[in-house]
Structure 1
Amino acid sequence: MVAMPPALTGDPEGTLTDSAAELSAETHGISPGTAKGADAGGTPIRPQGTPLSANIAKPHVRGAAQKDKIEVKYGPCTPGTANCDGARTGCITQSGDPNYFDPPTVTYVRVNNGPWDAVRVSCGVPDSVTIPGAPSEPPVTVAVEPPPVPTFAQIQTAFKELPFSQPSVSVQPKGMRTLINLPTYYEASWPDDAGLEPGEVSKPVTLLSWTVEFKISARDYRYDFGDDTTSRWTSSAGGTYPDGDVTHTYTDTGDMDVKVDARLTGQYRVNGGTWQDIATTADLQDEPVDTLEVVGTRTRLTS
Structure 2
Amino acid sequence: MRRIIGTTVALLLLTFSLSPSAAAGEVDVLGVAVNGEGTVARVTEEKTAQLAQGKDLHGQVVATPMEYRVELACPVLNAPQTDAACQRAVAGCQVNGQQIGSGFLYDIFARPRGSTQPWVNVGSTCFAAQVPGAAPTVTLAMLRDAMHNTPWATASISTQPVGDVTLVGLKTFYRVNWSSQGYEPGEVEAIDPARMLGRRVEIRPKVDHFTYVFGDGATFGPTRSPGGVYPNGDITHAYPQTGSYAVRVDTTFTADFRVDGGPWTVIPETVTVTGPVTTVTVKAARAVLVN
Q: Say which is worse superposed, 216-225 or 276-285, in terms of deviation.
A: 276-285
Q: Describe the shift of the 1:18–1:175 C-alpha distance in structure 2 as closer, same or farther (beyond 3 A).
A: farther
- The separation in 1 between residues aligned to 2:261 and 2:64, in whole angstroms, is 28
Aligned to 1:267: 256
> In 2, Cα distance between the equivalents of 1:250 and 1:18?
77
CA distance in 2, matches of 1:224, 1:261: 8
Amino acid at match of 1:46: F
Deviation at 1:227, TM superposition (A): 0.9
User: What TM-score does the superposition give when structure 2 sets the normalisation length?
Assistant: 0.55
When the two chains are superposed, the root-mean-square deviation of aligned CA atoms in Å is 3.6
Instruction: Look up the match of 1:202.
Output: 189
Aligned residue number for residue 45 of structure 1? 108
Q: What fraction of aligned residue pairs are identical, expressed as a percent?
A: 33
1:191 lines up with 2:191 in the alignment: no
Name the CA distance, whole Å, in 2 between partners of 1:40 and 1:198. Answer: 30
One-letter amino acid matched to 2:249:
V
Structure 2 residue 287 is the aligned partner of structure 1 residue 291: no
Q: What SS is found at the alignment partner of 1:231? A: strand
Secondary structure of the structure 2 residue equivalent to 1:156: helix
Aligned with 1:155: secondary structure? helix
The number of equivalent residue pairs is 185
Measured at CA, do residues 183 and 54 of structure 1 come closer, stay the same or move farther in structure 2, by a change above 3 Å? same
Q: Following TM superposition, by how much is the alpha carbon of 1:219 offset from its aligned partner in structure 2, in angstroms? A: 1.0
Unaligned segments of structure 1, at least 5 residues: 2-16, 22-38, 56-89, 101-125, 128-144, 299-303
Q: Take 2:233 and 2:189, find their aligned partners in 1: how far apart are those partners? A: 30
Question: What is the CA deviation profile of residues 12-46 of structure 1, one whole-angstrom value per residue up to 9, with x for unaligned ones?
Answer: xxxxx95169xxxxxxxxxxxxxxxxx97522423
> Distance between the aligned counterparts of 1:227 and 1:289, measured in 2?
13
Deviations 1:152-185 (A, max 9, x none): 2321331222111111001111001011100111
Counterparts in 2 of 1:172 and 1:148: CA distance versus 1, 3 Å = same
Which of 245, 255, 278 is the matching residue for 1:256?
Answer: 245
Q: Which has the higher helix share?
A: 2
Alignment gaps of 5+ in structure 2: 1-20, 22-62, 73-105, 125-130, 287-291
Matched, 1:172 2:235: no
SS in 1 for 2:145: helix
Question: Alignment partner of 1:291: what SS?
Answer: strand
Describe how 1:1-303 pairs up with structure 2 within 5 A.
Answer: 19=65, 41-42=71-72, 43-46=106-109, 53-54=113-114, 94=119, 127=132, 146-193=134-181, 195-206=182-193, 207-285=196-274, 287-297=275-285
CA positional deviation for 1:236 = 0.7
Q: TM-score, normalised by structure 1?
A: 0.53
**3-state SS of 2:258 partner:** strand
CA deviation vs aligned residue, 1:244-283 (integer Å, no higher than 9, x gap)? 1110000111111111000111211110001112222111
Give the AA of the match of 2:184.
E
Q: Secondary structure at the match of 1:158?
A: helix
Contact kept, 8 Å, 2:71 with 2:108, in 1: the verdict is no
One-letter amino acid of the counterpart of residue 203, structure 1: A
How far apart, CA to CA, are the structure 2 residues paired with 1:278 and 1:217?
11
Shift of 1:292: 0.7
Amino acid of the structure 2 residue aligned with 1:176: D
